[in-house]
Amino acid sequence: MRTLASIIERLQSPVARSITRHARDIHPFALDRDGPQTIRISLDGQAIDAQRGDTVAAALLRAGITTFTRSIKYHRPRGPFCLQGSCGQCLMRIDGAPSLLACRVLAEEGMICQRQNAPLGAEKDIFRAADFLFPEGLDHHHLMTGSRLLGRVALEVARRLAGLGELPDKPRAPVEAELRKARLVIVGAGPAGLAAARAAGDALRAAEGGVLLLEREPRPGGGALLAIDPALPDRDQIAQMALALQGEVMLDSECVGLYANDTALPGNALVAVRQRGRLLLLIAERVLVAVGGASQPLPFAGVDRPGVHAARGLVALPAMVGERLVVVGEGKELVDCARALRRKGYLLERVIALGKSWPAAADLPIEENQPRRALGNPVRALQVGDSRIHCDAVAIAMNPAPLHELASSVGAHARWVAEVGGFPIQVDGEGRTSVPWLFAAGRCAGLGGSAALNSGEAAGRAAGRG
């Protein structure tokens, strides 16, 4: 458990998150540093300078490296999109462990990173020829089945095309596990989760094992820390909300599973939490999910190329991905993200609105249009209508899609809502879901901005009462 003082300290300091890694040797390239804030990692044997606090993805993007992996079947180049651990386009082998999210691993001195799924290197991948040899698509189920010998060759090729990563260099040591009980577990310490924890705290203040708030990041605040939406609390307000909490807060604690409790211990829910080097299992009477949303791309040609990123991910990234951006999106999210990216230092070549409605923004070069194709590897231009806009990267600013998976895994209902661009968890006015012991609040329930705070307070109050 972290003290409130440590929470406030983390709110005022750079992100400092690490994960359990395999042991490694410190290579000579890691011993020659430019200064105390510079560390050195390697990518495919090449030394890369990074800043302390960088994730691996931030360090590589800072160094101008944009191709992180290759797609499974056609081996097309892929780079990080969401930069928040949701899209899977930055999977790398890091210190001998395969398929880790480079945007979630903190860069450390001497770290050894390798790109996967490219036998002869990610920049010149021989299997990239599949796209050209089979322009109508590769049907691997019937590839060379007329010959037993060629069929065996084709099978081996198909295995290479379908695989992703190789086994770890060393077996992972058993992790420590702990079993605890709690009256109410709140997953997510963004604005909605903090509001819920504060509202539930009074009702459960005197109860044994009262409110337990989980947050996968090293500090609470969630999307409010990006300072994109003016309707959300700022950093000082987040700190005040954290100080007002009556329960226990666990940072760097990611909920990786939610189940109906089938153990012999009393309680409705079983919550699996991954922490640094250990697994925490919680038996809870009630659970409230406030896990927010995930950035989503758009359906146009080339959107999966390196150089197309989620706008929110670029705002949070400690590095820059060039100077000139084209921002594409819709509504309030487009305007808020464009302004945040400009404050970060980007030159906005064009701001493309997909619909006819957006908040008044005379300070932004907004035009209504449709992106047709992202060009280059990495992307260096965006085809919009009949014109080509040159840029260093493209930022996608769409409403984050509600993360309903935890709630859905235990039977909570979610349905498509076009206005929010996803499947929010269905809740009533008090955040109750179709599962009696489960509550939801904030963006995962389809409510953003100030509505997220209100929903968190209402759901927290109801969950505290039981």
What pLDDT is stored for residue 24 in this prediction?
38
Q: Do 176-294+405-465 and 308-397 come out as alike in CATH topology?
A: yes
**Which tens digits make up the pLDDT trace of 430-460?**
999 999 999 999 999 999 999 999 999 999 9
pTM value?
Answer: 0.85
Confidence grade of residue 7 (pLDDT, cut at 50, 70, 90): very low
Q: What is the CATH number of domain 308-397?
A: 3.50.50.60
Confidence grade of residue 274 (pLDDT, cut at 50, 70, 90): very high
Q: Which CATH class is domain 11-162?
A: alpha beta
Confidence grade of residue 208 (pLDDT, cut at 50, 70, 90): low
Q: Per-residue pLDDT averaged across 254-274, rounded?
A: 96
pLDDT at 9 over 50: no
Q: Which CATH class is domain 176-294+405-465?
A: alpha beta
**Which tens digits make up the pLDDT trace of 113-125?**
999 877 666 666 6
Spans of all domains in the chain: 11-162, 176-294+405-465, 308-397
Percent of the chain having pLDDT more than 90? 68
User: SS3 string of the chain?
Assistant: CCCHHHHHHHHCCCCCCCCCCCCCCCCHHHHCCCCCCEEEEEECCEEEEEECCCEHHHHHHHCCCCCCEECCCCCCEECCCCCCCCCCCCEEEECCEEEEECCCCECCCCCEEECCCCCCCCCCCHHHHHHHHCCCCCCCCCCCCCCHHHHHHHHHHHHHHHCCCCCCCCCCCCCEEEEEEEEEEEECCCHHHHHHHHHHHHHHCCCCCCEEEECCCCCCCHHHHHCCCCCCCCHHHHHHHHHCCCCEEECCCEEEEEEECCCCCCCCEEEEEEECCEEEEEEEEEEEECCCEECCCCCCECCCCCCEEEHHHHHHCCCCCCCEEEEEECHHHHHHHHHHHHHHCCEEEEEEECCCCCCCCCCCCEEECCEEEEECCCCCEEEECCEEEECCEEEEECCCEECCHHHHCCCCCECCEHHHCECCECCCCCCECCCCCEEECHHHHCCCCHHHHHHHHHHHHHHHHC
**Which tens digits make up the pLDDT trace of 27-67?**
333 334 455 589 999 999 999 999 999 999 999 999 999 99
